[in-house]
Structure 1
Amino acid sequence: MIVIYTTMYGGRMAEEFQTEEHTEPDDKFEIDNLETLKAMADPQRLRIMEEMFEGPRTVKQLAAALDTTPTKLYYHIKIMEEHGLIRVVSTRVVSGIIEKLYHIRAYSYPINKSLMSMSESSGDDGFPTIISGVLGHTGDEIARGMKSGLIDMKKDSKEHRTFMMLHTLSKLSPQKAHDFITRFEALMTEFNDCSDTETSEPDARVYGLTVACYPTHHINLPTKPRKEEKEEKGNG
């Protein structure tokens, strides 16, 4: 344990900090059990973790960033700490009250494939938990952006686009599906790499990206009625 004592100012002792020895996040922390997955796959907890990706935060700082109250976050913080998703990196005593500084456990949280396989017993709960958590978090972030004016559908134009949302179907051969998914992966890599080059831009902002491409049980695409069929219905 590294203990750092600050100096006296005007006869009053400044805050006393105690910093843990291991404060830098690990490269990755694998989610290998259903309980930890459920602890993480909550939209509010995902938002908390995203805030911590920028650096350590106190509960008060998190509450201010998420536009909520600290009392509404203590339970989430407790669950996340118990499952090793976050950890205390330092504490400080302010007016006799201990305040904790939390940080992410790792920079990435890969999920064990057994939790996503429906052939495994854990997959029955695991995969729906992942989908619900990711899509719920995405929806909350978009709604938050719209509420704050960050996303303005009226101002978004083809010449200056900052938001898109799309769901569509297409009939593909296995090879074509493979090709598209490979291109999606390359585009996502490019998207992630932009962080290294765009951070110096004064108007740069963090963007979210949620992508899913998957086979469905549909045999054929919905067919559009032919022009003559529309005319017959109109005359009838």
Structure 2
Amino acid sequence: MKPMLTLTEHSQLKALSDPLRAEMMMRLLEKPYTGQQLSEYFNLSRAKIHYHLKELEKNQLISIVKKEEKNGIIQKFYQSVARGFTPSAELLPHLADISETSRQLLLQMAERTKSVILSAPENAFKLNKASENPSEWGYVGSMWQFSAKEEHFKDWIKKYFALMKEFSEITKEDHPSHPDSKIYYISTMAFQIDEPVMDDMKSNKEEE
């Protein structure tokens, strides 16, 4: 699976802007699924799931990664071709579709994160001792709000992905089967909003 796929066709944007397909992509980012498994998961007919799978496959967003025979029937397992998607410069004239696609994918990420939080083990949120030092915390939960120039926001994004790449390199030998390894789920979102939602920034804005 590629780390990132650059979208070059308008039809790819349209395919991902559909809420159901965006939700299906969240599942297919995690692991391969058959049409039957997705049908059971979403409680939808196989015909409807098959239609949406074909739309995603036609637009080269998913692919068949393996086939298995069960009771004389060949089962096809589909998975996302990449962990993330970004539009090419050629798609910039379709800003409305880019925005809707990004919104749907972020919404599904938020829903998936909520589901993972609810199913996480109790000790995931256990504090062994009170501390103001973040390095001693067993989990991270924080919300931030900044008034920033776009160039500074983009600089932060670049540093964020560099940090995640560094963390990936550090942990690549930490296999889940190792007795000292634990599995951590990281979900991050950052985007522009119209009005501040936190009181401290509201006050600052009113004083200006």
Give the TM-score normalised by the residue count of structure 2. Answer: 0.64
Task: Specify which structure has the higher proportion of helix.
Answer: 2
CA contact (8 A) 2:113 2:187 kept: no
CA contact (8 A) 1:145 1:151 kept: no
In 2, Cα distance between the equivalents of 1:86 and 1:94?
22
- How far the C-alpha of 1:44 sits from its partner, in A, is 1.4
- How far the C-alpha of 1:37 sits from its partner, in A, is 2.1
The residue type equivalent to 2:163 in the other structure is L
CA contact (8 A) 1:85 1:105 kept: yes
CA contact (8 A) 2:2 2:83 kept: yes
Per-residue CA deviation, residues 70-108 of structure 1 (Å, 9 max, x unaligned), is: 746444323222222222344444334332233443566
User: Who is 2:186 aligned against?
Assistant: 208
CA contact (8 A) 1:114 1:123 kept: no
In the alignment of these two chains, the number of paired residues is: 187
The residue type equivalent to 1:161 in the other structure is G
With over 3 angstroms needed to count, the CA separation of the structure-2 counterparts of 1:103 and 1:168, relative to structure 1, is closer
Instruction: Give me the identity figure in percent.
Output: 21
Report which of the two structures shows the higher radius of gyration computed on alpha carbons.
1
Corresponding residue to 2:62 among 76, 86, 93: 86
Q: With CA pairs under 8 Å and 6+ residues apart, which has the higher RCO, 1 or 2?
A: 2
Corresponding residue to 1:45 among 6, 21, 24: 24
User: Who is 1:19 aligned against?
Assistant: none
In 2, Cα distance between the equivalents of 1:136 and 1:26?
22
CA contact (8 A) 1:34 1:126 kept: no
Unaligned runs of 5+ in 2: none
Per-residue CA deviation, residues 97-127 of structure 1 (Å, 9 max, x unaligned), is: 3322334435664431343x4xx2x112212
CA contact (8 A) 2:25 2:80 kept: no
In 2, Cα distance between the equivalents of 1:90 and 1:83?
19
Unaligned runs of 5+ in 1: 1-24, 225-236
Aligned to 2:203, the other structure's residue is in SS state coil
With over 3 angstroms needed to count, the CA separation of the structure-2 counterparts of 1:179 and 1:161, relative to structure 1, is same
Are 1:125 and 2:97 matched, yes or no? yes
Give the TM-score normalised by the residue count of structure 1. Answer: 0.58
Corresponding residue to 2:112 among 106, 123, 141: 141
